[in-house]
Amino acid sequence: MLRSRAQRLRALPLRGLPGRPRSAGRRQGEENPPLSAETRWKDRAETVIIGGGCVGVSLAYHLAKAGMKDVVLLEKSELTAGSTWHAAGLTTYFHPGINLKKIHYDSIKLYEKLEEETGQVVGFHQPGSIRIATTPVRVDEFKYQMTRTGWHATEQYIIEPEKIQEMFPLLNMNKVLAGLYNPGDGHIDPYSLTMALAAGARKYGALLKYPAPVTSLKPRSDGTWDVETPQGSMRANRIVNAAGFWAREVGKMIGLEHPLIPVQHQYLVTSTIPEVKALKRELPVLRDLEGSYYLRQERDGLLFGPYESQEKMKVQDSWVTSGVPPGFGKELFQSDLDRIMEHVEVAMEMVPVLKKADIINIVNGPITYSPDILPMVGPHQGVRNYWVAIGFGYGIIHAGGVGKYLSDWIVHGEPPFDLIELDPNRYGKWTTTEYTEAKARESYGFNNIVGYPKEERFAGRPTQRVSGLYKTLESKCSMGFHAGWEQPHWFYKPGQDTRYRPSFRRTNWFEPVGSEYKQVMQRVGVIDLSPFGKFNIQGQDSIRLLDHLFANVIPKVGFTNISHMLTPKGRVYAELTVSHRSPGEFLLVTGSGSELHDLRWIEEVAVKGGYDIEIRNITDELGVLGVAGPHARKVLQKLTSEDLSDDVFKFLQTKSLKVSNIPVTAIRISYTGELGWELYHRREDSAALYDVIMNAGQEEGIDNFGTYAMNALRLEKAFRAWGSEMNCDTNPWEAGLEYFVKLNKDQNSCFAHFKMENGWVRRWAIRPQLG
């Protein structure tokens, strides 16, 4: 019986267990190539990849195949050491988001042809997968996901219990309501996959060197790097940190603290089960979402892997505080079945043949988590030519697609599609070790929870990054998390339900948000916009730089405009408001989630072009209050001697003034599309500024509104939002942004590559603010 067998195995050392699973060791006949085959050394490299797991090797393969010369991978011990060698190897087209499905798709399509291309067996099985719904809300989630599947070429279906039982006859159907079925899903042998990618990389000219631990990274003034190893040094045009759970150590070499933490993940493998052996076809991979485990066929037995709760899961926090043990590579942790027994019992109930199965192996190995469980992929802000591909909790399914994505970006100079959710620059100085651990626990424990729209997760909050209004507003509203900031989503009144109630239907915030919408449309409202990313740019080349960066013209002194940074192929990389505060001095404002994403691009262009400018990130220094609605002028006029009349303070004009003796930079703009101003001020003045505005507006019926209402208002006016109606997947014409693009600008070299694929342009009315 599984339980009694598990009890006996607790006392056994893992490395002596018989029957090591496919994904937990080296296959006969697939040994690493002899070190003598890698005796070459290069003094110069175009790209140096640090780390020989499946992600790093995939990148080496893709770069070399794309024609890049001098691709070098440095691995401290041997290929697959770390997390790759012991992975369960699951592959799936499914992802709850939209963009990452493309990564999964590219991975699977690569794995399907890799054996033919390289001659290396990869052990790829594609029996499909079924996610099981045993609650009505889970069925709702499946229906929600089906509305998103049309974005992609892959098949996905909701299937009835009868079909589920036909495909997985060993399942207890008593609680099953529906399944989400993905044909083509399955599992692959991680070791064999990595060896095949390595063979491909060598075939196309890459050098894979191991053991070659990196001991030092030194940036040079020209943007290149000196990479030191015990075998010698190498000059690299760029480096890519793909070092798995060693990535923190690599980052520390150049003064970066990557927010990563290793967690222990266990799975167990059974011996032959007669009922499994008797099957005529391989079982689809099963994911019991309420039970929080996956289960797949392993030869004639089963492999079972749970995700335990955040209270029971194990974080390897000593590796964060004291570093990874120097010799750790292909080692595992002692198994701990007590942590997962409740999941084992649920699985035995759902798949009864497990009750009499023997466990032949238990794998408890480290995988690396970022705070939000998603990897960090791309160039890092603040360090030239330093790229990362780290934090992979699901490295096998991500490896092929991420290798292609990064290769395309490096070779062509821009990301092939939007993937901002993986941007390493979504984290900042506010991402402390304590925050990282709290979020990693939460993310691991929430692996299989229902994924609602507008989901909020509360571990590790608030961070140090709160606005000056946080204490004033926290008891009046439901806060949302935005790049470390707490920002009001919606406000509640006495007697209203204040709890966080996510849903696929109308929920408790629907009526309050409707009231806030009416508040702004009919009276006047105040919103905290402090999370905006804010940059100050000045210097003798500031105008020349911005004219090169943006598709719009540069606003005159004292004015603001909406401008877009475009990629070389004419895709919308970012949208910012640009305010010309004084001759040659500009305030640039972007969305909270784009702060370092946009700053990195600006800094890179400035350095490459040799522009004489100073860029300061003043996001944390300034608070922002938005005042909007038909009575906005009347309220603010009570507090300033500056004439706010329409003739004197025009739409998109910016002025420095005082509001009740508090210095502000006032911009006549509002994302609501109504009459309004944004007031930029010292963060420490936020509470005082808010109080005087609220007091001054009592006669006009002033009140708060949050980002949910603002989003409804901007949609009504057809105001676009970067990340929704435009991103790196769209050009300005597709997004209806032609009003903001000046095709006659000499600086817009990107338009030389710009082509109208559909041969027509859709015209959108650009509505100015009322009033």
Note the pLDDT tens digit of each residue in 595-609.
Answer: 999 999 999 999 999
Contact between 257 and 309 under an 8 Å Cβ cutoff? The reply is: no
When comparing pLDDT for 375 and 746, which is higher? 375
Residue from 461, 688, 725 nearest 591 by CA: 725
List, for residues 57-113, the tens digit of each pLDDT value.
Answer: 999 999 999 999 999 999 999 999 999 999 999 999 999 988 999 999 999 999 999
Residue 1: what pLDDT? 52
Residue type, 592: S
For the chain, what is the largest distance between any 2 Cα atoms, rounded to a whole number of angstroms?
Answer: 86
Residue from 183, 220, 187, 224 nearest 46 by CA: 224
**Coil vs helix vs strand at 481:** strand
Task: Tell me the sheet residues that pair with 125.
Answer: 187
Residue 67: what pLDDT? 97
Residue 329: what pLDDT? 86
569-590: average pLDDT: 97
CA contacts within 13 A on the Cβ side of 330: 15
User: Nearest 5°: phi and psi at 209?
Assistant: -115, 125
552-571: average pLDDT: 96
Residue 113 CA to residue 299 CA, distance in Å, equals 23
Residue 323: what pLDDT? 87
Is residue 213 scored above 50 in pLDDT? yes
Residue 361 CA to residue 20 CA, distance in Å, equals 6
Residue 647 CA: distances (Å) to CA of 109, 566, 631: 61, 34, 17
Is residue 371 scored above 90 in pLDDT? yes
40-56: average pLDDT: 95
DSSP letters, 482-536, are ETTEEEEEEE--TTS--S----SS--TTHHHHHHHHHHHHHS-EEEE-TTSEEEE
Reply yes or no: is the peptide bond before residue 306 cis, omega within 30 of 0. Answer: no
Q: How many CB atoms sit inside 10 A of residue 68's CB?
A: 19
Residue from 514, 42, 428 nearest 256 by CA: 428
Is residue 12 scored above 90 in pLDDT? no
Residue 152: what pLDDT? 83
Domain 533-617 has CATH 3.30.70.1400: yes
Residue from 241, 207, 201, 235 nearest 46 by CA: 235
Residue 753: what pLDDT? 41
Residue from 57, 45, 84 nearest 199 by CA: 57
Is residue 8 scored above 70 in pLDDT? no
Residue type, 169: P
List, for residues 666-676, the tens digit of each pLDDT value.
Answer: 999 999 999 99
374-397: average pLDDT: 97
Helix ranges restricted to H, 618-770: 632-637, 686-696, 707-716
Quick one: pLDDT band at residue 314, thresholds 50, 70, 90? very high
Residue 212: what pLDDT? 95
558-567: average pLDDT: 97
Mean pLDDT of the residues in the chain? 91
Contact between 644 and 637 under an 8 Å Cβ cutoff? The reply is: yes
**Coil vs helix vs strand at 236:** strand
When comparing pLDDT for 22 and 279, which is higher? 279
Strand boundaries in 525-643, DSSP class E: 525-528, 533-538, 560-566, 572-582, 585-590, 614-617, 622-628
Residue 70: what pLDDT? 95
Is residue 758 scored above 50 in pLDDT? no
> What is the torsion angle, in degrees rounded to the nearest 10, for the CA atoms of residue 137, residue 141, residue 142 and residue 144?
130
Residue 98: what pLDDT? 86
Residue 21: what pLDDT? 34
Q: How many CB atoms sit inside 10 A of residue 699's CB?
A: 10
Residue 286 CA to residue 165 CA, distance in Å, equals 12
Tokens of 370: 């970022």
Is residue 308 scored above 70 in pLDDT? yes
Residue 2: what pLDDT? 56
Contact between 202 and 136 under an 8 Å Cβ cutoff? The reply is: no
Residue type, 386: Y
Residue from 20, 68, 143 nearest 451 by CA: 143
When comparing pLDDT for 383 and 747, which is higher? 383
Residue 7 CA: distances (Å) to CA of 59, 204, 268: 42, 50, 13
**Coil vs helix vs strand at 16:** helix
Reply yes or no: is the peptide bond before residue 630 cis, omega within 30 of 0. Answer: no
21 CA to centre of own chain: 31
Residue 483 CA to residue 534 CA, distance in Å, equals 13
Residue 580: what pLDDT? 98
Residue 15: what pLDDT? 32
Task: Tell me the sheet residues that pair with 682.
Answer: 622
Is residue 31 scored above 60 in pLDDT? no
Residue type, 247: A
Tokens of 753: 């590559």
Residue 51 CA: distances (Å) to CA of 48, 201, 245, 494, 753: 10, 14, 10, 56, 36
Residue 404 CA to residue 108 CA, distance in Å, equals 12
Residue 763: what pLDDT? 30
Is residue 240 scored above 70 in pLDDT? yes
Residue 106 CA: distances (Å) to CA of 287, 565, 746: 22, 28, 37
Residue 343: what pLDDT? 96
In the chain, the N- to C-terminal Cα span, in Å, equals 76
Contact between 574 and 722 under an 8 Å Cβ cutoff? The reply is: yes
Is residue 207 scored above 50 in pLDDT? yes
Residue 640 is given by DSSP the state: -
Residue from 385, 370, 496 nearest 433 by CA: 370
Residue 224 CA: distances (Å) to CA of 237, 238, 409, 685: 5, 6, 18, 43
What share of the chain has pLDDT > 70, as a percent?
92
Is residue 20 scored above 80 in pLDDT? no
Quick one: pLDDT band at residue 38, thresholds 50, 70, 90? low
Residue 10: what pLDDT? 37
Residue 317 CA to residue 587 CA, distance in Å, equals 41
Q: Could you tell me the residue ranges of all domains in the chain?
A: 119-186+263-368, 533-617
Residue partners of 12: CB distance under 8 A and separation at least 6: none
Residue 509 CA to residue 494 CA, distance in Å, equals 14
610-634: average pLDDT: 98
Residue 382 CA to residue 509 CA, distance in Å, equals 39
Residue 251 CA to residue 242 CA, distance in Å, equals 11
Is residue 367 scored above 50 in pLDDT? yes
List, for residues 256-283, the tens digit of each pLDDT value.
Answer: 999 999 999 999 999 999 999 999 999 9
List, for residues 134-183, the tens digit of each pLDDT value.
Answer: 999 999 999 999 998 888 889 999 999 999 999 999 999 999 999 999 99
* R_g (Cα) of the chain, nearest Å: 28
Buried b (16+ CB within 10 A) or exposed e, 223-239: ebbebbbeeeebebbbb
Tokens of 689: 């500024």
95 CA to centre of own chain: 13
Is residue 32 scored above 50 in pLDDT? no
Residue 175 CA to residue 182 CA, distance in Å, equals 21
Q: Is the pTM of this model over 0.85?
A: yes
CATH number for the region 119-186+263-368 comes to 3.30.9.10
768 CA to centre of own chain: 34
Contact between 365 and 265 under an 8 Å Cβ cutoff? The reply is: yes
